[in-house]
Amino acid sequence: MEENNQKKFMVTEELFVRADKRFFNFAIDMIMLSILLFIGLVIFLSNTATTPNEGKDFMNRFMANSILQYIVTSSITLVYYNFFEIFTSRTIGKFCTNTIVVDENGDNANYEAIMIRSLIRIIPLYWISFIVFPTRGLHDMISKTYVVNKNLLDERKKQFYGSPNK
């Protein structure tokens, strides 16, 4: 049996996405999450409220209950980020900015790392970590993942591994 002693590609700082692109990822994803929340509330209300007043009462209770708001928005956030990042390594924001979530070797991050990233995102005020570390948030550091420019990553990996022999 032949051993694979081939050197592994490693993500370097030159591949990291700048803070402005990270902000655009965040903004686009927040818009998508807001749309999902709105659609979810409309569907919920259309299936449960039998009178207009009942729907209005629910919305008043929802707006007054910050714990319920946190539970609902956290659930939507977890589903959104897990679904997109587990299956594509990219959210809609990352598709728009041509960025991708990878591990230290530039490969798609595993399920556990994505789950950790998503769970950290629901910690209130976690985003403050971007003030201290503009290119890597707390969710990146703890999950040992990186958000990088997809085209540049593909180019660097191709250079590193070279073209396959034919």
DSSP string, 90-114: --HHHHHHTEEEE-TTSSBPPHHHH
Residue pLDDT, tens place only, 65-83? 999 999 999 999 999 999 9
The pLDDT confidence band at residue 23, using thresholds 50, 70 and 90, is very high
Tokens of 58: 């629910």
Residue with tokens 């399920």: 111
Residue pLDDT, tens place only, 133-150? 777 888 999 999 999 999
**Model-level pTM?**
0.85
The pLDDT confidence band at residue 166, using thresholds 50, 70 and 90, is very low
Q: Give the C-alpha separation, 102 to 114, whole Å.
A: 10
Mean pLDDT of the chain: 90
